[in-house]
């Protein structure tokens, strides 16, 4: 996970990153995009695997969530998680509606990625001026990850049920 963040910081010009990591992250995605657009049968075949893989990703994410982080972050961490859902959810819902969707994808994207909790420590290692803030920031971001991972699926299901009768695609 640390390597992934070094790549992001490297792309932003804040740290050096190894090219094999960048290629290993982007190449499979690029090959999948190309193959999916060139071969309809392969796209269909691999597309069916998505539904099978989702529970494994969800299980892996759930195993890494530490509920004590929410407790340690207190109301500020809870408020940060709710604010992320409300603010980013509203913006992404609007963007989804503008681009022709019914907003469900926008609501579903209103989370804080699980690996975001490592970012404060990585930034602090790249620039020691942020070292004192890394600990508290990590606790807040971890709480935000947990709150959004619990709230967003429920909110997405509610929104999808609300807009389903309109007949617009998700």
Instruction: Kindly report whether the global pTM for this prediction surpasses the value 0.75.
Output: no
User: Which among 64, 89, 83, 88 is positioned nearest to 142, based on CA atoms?
Assistant: 64
User: Looking at residue 93, what is its pLDDT?
Assistant: 93
Q: What is the pLDDT of residues 41-57, one digit of tens each?
A: 988 888 888 778 777 76
**Mean pLDDT lowest for which of 2-6, 20-24, 54-58, 116-120?**
2-6
Q: Report residue 1's pLDDT band, with 50, 70 and 90 as the boundaries.
A: very low
Between 126 and 5, the more confident residue is 126
Give the Cα separation of 71 and 146 in Å (integer). 11
CB 128 within 8 Å of CB 63: no
User: Looking at residue 168, what is its pLDDT?
Assistant: 53
Give the Cα separation of 159 and 46 in Å (integer). 28
Q: What is the pLDDT of residues 107-134, one digit of tens each?
A: 988 888 766 877 888 788 778 888 888 8
Half-sphere exposure of 139 (CA within 13 A, CB side): 14
Between 143 and 6, the more confident residue is 143
Cβ-count burial 83-103 (b if 16+ within 10 Å, e if not): ebbeebbeebbeebeeeebbb
User: Looking at residue 87, what is its pLDDT?
Assistant: 93
């Amino acid at each position: 996970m640390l390597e992934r963040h070094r790549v992001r910081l490297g792309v932003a010009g804040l740290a050096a990153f190894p090219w094999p990591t960048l290629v290993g992250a982007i190449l499979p995605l690029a090959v999948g995009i190309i193959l999916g657009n060139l071969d309809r049968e392969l796209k269909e075949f691999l597309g069916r695997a998505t539904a099978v893989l989702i529970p494994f990703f969800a299980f892996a994410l759930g195993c890494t969530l530490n509920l004590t982080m929410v407790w340690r972050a207190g109301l500020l961490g809870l408020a940060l998680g709710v604010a992320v859902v409300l603010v980013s959810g509203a913006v992404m819902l609007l963007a989804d509606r503008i681009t022709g969707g019914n907003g469900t994808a926008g609501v579903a994207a209103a989370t804080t990625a699980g690996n975001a909790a490592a970012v404060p420590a990585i930034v602090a290692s790249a620039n020691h001026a942020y070292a004192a803030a890394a600990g508290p920031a990590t606790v807040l971001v971890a709480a935000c990850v947990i709150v959004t991972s619990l709230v967003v699926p429920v909110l997405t299901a509610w929104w999808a049920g609300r807009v389903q009768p309109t007949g617009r695609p998700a």
